[in-house]
Each structure stands twice: as structure tokens, then as C-alpha cells.
Chain A
Amino acid sequence: MFGYLVRRVLAAIPVMGVVAVFVFLLLRLTPGDPAAIIAGDQASPEQLERIRISLGLNEPIYTQFFTWIGKVLRGDLGVSLISQVPVVQMIGQRIEPTVSLALSTIILSIVVAVPLGVIAAWKHGSLVDKGVMSLSVLGFSIPVFVIGYILIQIFAIELKWLPVQGFRSLSRGLWPFFERALLPTLTLSFIYIALIARMTRAAVLDVLGEDYVRTARAKGIAEHAVLLRHALRNAAVPVITVIGTGFALLISGVVVTESVFNLPGIGRLTVDAVLARDYPVIQGMILLTSGLYVLINLLIDVAYTLLDPRIRY
């Protein structure tokens, strides 16, 4: 067990290494002078030289890589080319809206999608099942921003129940935070609910065909106990796994949702950085989100090795 945990943690290192090399090479392998790419066509030679020095582009490429990776490992993601503020500080200032959006989406999605998936599998082939399946196909097909604008149109413009856009920190009161967070959370939850409900349904459906479920039913155990204690518990591994792999999807969704609802989070920060070609910020964001993705999936793997006695490596 301990050996497995160590191997699993070690296996995450090459993955992050590949991400780092990719992010590093992306700028260097793009055709043309990297400094000119970042500065744009109107840049003066002095501006170009400043960018070259700030990114260390005058050094040989392997020196550049090791200097850069050394800084990254010490938590230094460089300095924004536009505002001259350290990237870590920029991300820190704008992380609150993003974290609150991501967390509320994950919580809402699990609360809605897991029961939906269980019911769909239990009443396999029924109207509920067909409804859940249609919803999940729709969730994958309607772009996040289209859902966002439909919700704004209905609830903010026609009914005037909620504000159109913006963000209020939780520290400034529960209701102002909640009424602004509701629509973005609903918007982003749609695709996540689709993903989790689909997976829960498939996993529970698989388990319901097992012998121990038939035995449990034959013993006369109440149906809800069969579903919760026997079926859902055993179906938990694939469901939790898909919540982890869906994290990349969640990040992509966050970027779009923040733009639709004008939330000052790190998704909006990334888009602004892309439009301004602020490469250190883009680089930092890719490293941060990929790192989180790898970490979350690592924790999930470790968690069910510890929790599920059947999984032994």
C-alpha cells in the first residue's frame, strides 16, 4: 500500500514535467522572435530588449529552462509584462470569485446529479431515465455562454429577479454574494451535472446487475437501502473519478462563465492576458490549473485506495 502511494506520487512528477516543458517551449518554438511576438509589431528596439532581458531570452535555451524551472519551483511565476506586478500576486488578488464559483458549482452538481443518476439507473428505461439522458446530451451540446445568456435574459432582464452581472465578496454579506453567484453557478453546473449524472447512471446500472445486489433484494432489504448502501457505495469510484477528470472541463467553463458574467476572477485575468499577450500570466495560469488538475486526481486516487478495501496494488 505504502509502496503504491509513493509510486503514485512519483508518477505525477513526469506529468507536471511535460506540462512545464510544453509551456516553456510554446513561446520558444513559435515561429519568429518571441520578444516581437509578445511586444507586437509597433515595438521599439528598446522595448524588445527589455522583454528579452525580463524573460531571459538572450541566454542559451537550456540555461533559460533551468533558470525558469528553478524559479517556478520556488513559487516565482515571473512578473506581468503589462502591469509589472508578480504573477503570483495577480492570481492571489483575483482568486476569490473563481474559487467560490468553482466550489459552488461542484457542490450543486453533486447534490443534483448523483440522485438523478441513481434514479435514472433504478428506473432504467423509464421517462425519468430518458429525461436524464436527454439532459446530459443537451448539457454536452449547448455552449456554456449560450446557457449563461439564456439565464440572464430570463431571470435578470425579463423577470428582474437577479442582477445581470458582477461579483460581491462573501465578506460583504451573504445575500449580495448569493444573488450574484446564483446565475453563474447554474450556468456552469449544467455541463458538470450532465457529466456526473451520466457517469452515476452508468456506474449504478453496472452494479445493479451484480449478484450481491440480487442477494440483498432477496433478503428483503428495503429498496432505498439497496440503492444507497449497496449500489451507490460500490459505484462511487467511477463517479468520484469523473469529478476529478472533469476538473479540466470545469476550468475551461470558469474562463467562459467569468467573461459572460463579468466576474473579476482568474479566468477573466487569463483572457485579458491573452488579449494583451501578457505571456508570463498565461504561462502561470496554465501551470497553476494543470498542477491543480494533477493534484486533485492524485488525491482522488489516493483517497479511494485508502477507502476502498478492494483496491490493492
Chain B
Amino acid sequence: MSVETLSEAGEGPRSRLSASLMLAASSPLTLIAALCLAVVVASAVFAPWIAPHDPLQLAPAQRLKPPGAEFPLGTDAYGRDLLSRVVYGGRVSLLVGLGAALVSITIGLAIGLVSGFFRPVDAVVMRIMDGLMAIPAILLAIAVVSLSGASLATVLVAITIPEIPRVVRLVRSVVLSAREEPYVEAAISVGTSLPRILWRHLMPNTIAPLIVQGTYVCASAILTEAILSFLGAGISPETPTWGNIMAEGRTYFQLKPSLIFWPGLLLSAAILSINLLGDAARDALDPRMKRREGTR
């Protein structure tokens, strides 16, 4: 046994994980994406200090003002400051993205672990997941929101439901292959309790792919939230979200396209950075995936 294998064996999975993440961060594109995301997140977190005006304050005399000293990006149709609204709008979007990623991964992990381990459960669960995946995500989400009323919680639920099957499939496929490994057979044969097998022996295999999947869920949830708001089926229109600002901007688009372009730019930048970080994490955590970049 060479020195290299010895030192590798000495490292836990955790340190290998952080090492691969460090490796991913060394590419310039990834650094730009991380920086870009950091700026968007910071502008949302520190919105009260950055925003020059109250994002909700109506000023009919100041309708559709061009950019100037008082309003850096101009005002909307109700005289509200566009910069303040765009900055505050990021709060809801990022919150929904993060929330949807955490919830769908938690639920998907639980279902996927059990389903991958028990054949009879698997058959039923996978049919349900196939059915859910057949429903277009936007239709499913707008149906849920229109029935339960538009609050942050229902929007989160509506966006999370269509994401769960993808997580379940991923976890299940990892469990199916890990279940055949000798250490799992060994654990079963010495009578390890079931929750312990699932959590201690099978779950750690899913961490790396779930980190990658989590970033994709986050990006797609932010996108879905914006689409819901844009269609008028999202969080109530008074709350500034990127989608809501753009939905209101539709009416005045020919007069003042910046009402759609600024929130659109921030939205695209946020989603793009998250997707790029996800790709970088995938390449670092699973080098085999690097060649076949078509699958998500």
C-alpha cells in the first residue's frame, strides 16, 4: 500500500468533500459566479440600508420618473422607487429558492432512502413520483396557489411539490447501488438496526449528489416563483418580488422597459450564478459526470 492511499484513507468523507469544493472554487468562472451571487444575496439581506426609499411608499406625483439623483433607477407606475423595490424583491425570491431546496431535499431524502431500500414500497412510491413528474411544474404550482390562496407558505409548497420527485429519484438510485456494497451487507448481517443502516451507511452516499441537486432546485424554484408572480398567481402584488415588479411593468412596457429589465437582470444573474456554482460542485464532487454534461 502506497503512502498516498494511506493518507487518503486517513481523511474522512467530510474533508474530502471540502477539498473538492475548494478545487471547484479555483476556476475563474466559478469565482465570478460566487461573487455575483454574493452581491445579489448581500443586496437582499442589507436591503433596508441600501434602498434609498420605502419600497411600498406611493407617490402619484412621481409616476414613471426617469432615473435621476433622487430615484437612481426611476419610479414605477405608482411613483415607487424602482431600485428599492428591486433590492427588496430579492428577499422573497432568494428565500423561496433556499426554502424550496431545503424542504424538497429533506422530504425527498426521507422518501428516497426508504423507497430505495424496500422493494414493495419502491414500486408504489415510484409510480406516484412518475405521476407527479407528468404534471407540468407551472400548472401544478398555479393550481395549488389558486386553491390555497397566495401567501409565502403556499407559494413555497406549490413550488416544492414538483421538485420532490427529482430528489426522490436521485436518492433512490444512489441507495439502490450502495445497497449492494459489502459494508451494507455486513451491517445487515451483524444486525444493525434499520434506521442506523439508512442513516449511517446509506445516507452519506447521497450528500454529494444532493448538494448538486440542491443548487439546481434552488435555481429552478427562484425561476418558478418569478413566473408565478408574473402570471399573477404568486405572492400578493403589494409585496415587491422580482416577478411582481415585472408583472406590473408589463402594462407600461413600451413606455418604460426598465421596469422589466432591472428585475429581469437581477433574476437572471442570480439563477445563472447558482446554476454555474452547481455545475462546478458537480464537476468537483463527481469527476465521472464531467464528460457527460447533458444530464441534470
For A271, what are the chain B residues with a Cβ–Cβ distance below 8 Å?
Answer: 142, 231-233
Of B43-51, B171-179, B206-214, B270-278, the stretch lying at the interface with chain A is B270-278
Known contacts: A31-B148, A206-B292, A277-B146. The answer to whether A141 contacts B136 by CB under 8 A is no
Considering the chains assembled together, what is the distance between the CA atoms of A158 and B144 in angstroms?
39
8 Å CB interface, B196-215 against A:
none
Interface of A is mostly: helix
A111 within 8 A of B: no
Instruction: Give A229-264 as 1s and 0s: 1 = Cβ < 8 Å from B's Cβ atoms.
Output: 000000000100010000011011001100100000
Q: Please determine whether B264 and A18 come into contact, CB atoms closer than 8 angstroms.
A: no
For A150, what are the chain B residues with a Cβ–Cβ distance below 8 Å?
Answer: 261
- Minimal beta-carbon separation of A164 from chain B (angstroms): 8
* A-side interface residues, number (CB < 8 Å): 61
Known contacts: A141-B271, A290-B134. The answer to whether A270 contacts B139 by CB under 8 A is yes
Instruction: Give B107-146 as 1s and 0s: 1 = Cβ < 8 Å from A's Cβ atoms.
Output: 0000000000000000000011011111111111011111
Query: B137: which of A16, A140, A242, A252 is its contact (CB, 8 Å)?
Result: A252
For B143, what are the chain A residues with a Cβ–Cβ distance below 8 Å?
Answer: 23, 26, 274, 282-283, 286
Query: A141: which of B132, B133, B232, B268 is its contact (CB, 8 Å)?
Result: B268
How many inter-chain contacts with C-beta < 8 Å in the A-B complex?
161
- Minimal beta-carbon separation of A150 from chain B (angstroms): 8
For A279, what are the chain B residues with a Cβ–Cβ distance below 8 Å?
Answer: 147
Of B18-26, B184-192, B222-230, the stretch lying at the interface with chain A is B222-230
B279 within 8 A of A: yes
Of B63-71, B78-86, B252-260, the stretch lying at the interface with chain A is B252-260
On A, residues with C-beta under 8 Å from B are 14-19, 21-23, 26-27, 30-31, 37, 133, 137-138, 140-146, 149-150, 152-153, 157, 164, 198-203, 205-206, 238, 242, 248-249, 251-252, 255-256, 259, 270-271, 274-275, 277, 279, 282-283, 285-286, 289-290, 293-294
Question: 16 interchain pairs (CB within 8 A)?
Answer: A16-B131, A19-B134, A21-B131, A22-B131, A23-B143, A30-B148, A137-B272, A140-B275, A149-B257, A201-B294, A252-B139, A271-B232, A274-B145, A285-B139, A286-B136, A290-B135
